[in-house]
Amino acid sequence: MPAFSRLCVFLTLGAVGLGGCAAPTYQTFTKAGARDATVAQDQTACNVEANRLFPAANYPVTYPGSGGFYGTGYYGGGWGLGVTYVGSTDVNAGMRNQHRSDCMRLKGYTPVTYPVCTTAQLDGRSYAAATGAPAPAPNICAVRRQGAAPVLIDLNKPL
């Protein structure tokens, strides 16, 4: 199989695989008596601190390509092993996420995990955003929004 064909197959499989990577849950933090503005302020402070302590450290991700003929000229060419660049990875991401979580816990927050609403659950209906951080229950789920944090809704309270 030519190198170009292998690359196309690899990228296609990668894209299909990444499509299923969206987390089926949404984690946030709750604290008795904390207003939404206070929670947001504390989360921002923890994010800034985590980003300062563990800045992004992106390294290229590559995989070996196929051999191929390279070069011409006075010394002629030869066969060599190519390398294909497929993206990058942030080696500090895990430490940054752990620090954010530890920081919020030190401020007295408890992590809470909610399921992400499925299309079948929403069934084309609209719901009002839940206030505060409701206790996890079968009727509470998170709706993803593009460019913004997910919002929690109560499936028992359609508009």
- Mean pLDDT score of the chain, rounded to an integer? 78
DSSP label of 137: -
Higher-confidence position of 8 and 81: 81
What is the biggest distance separating any 2 CA atoms in the chain, rounded to whole angstroms? 78
Q: With a threshold of 0.85, does the pTM exceed it? A: no
State the Cα–Cα distance between residues 152 and 121, nearest whole angstrom: 13
Q: What does the pLDDT read at residue 15?
A: 38
Q: Which two tokens stand for residue 154?
A: 């109560």
- pLDDT-derived band of residue 84, with 50, 70 and 90 as boundaries? low
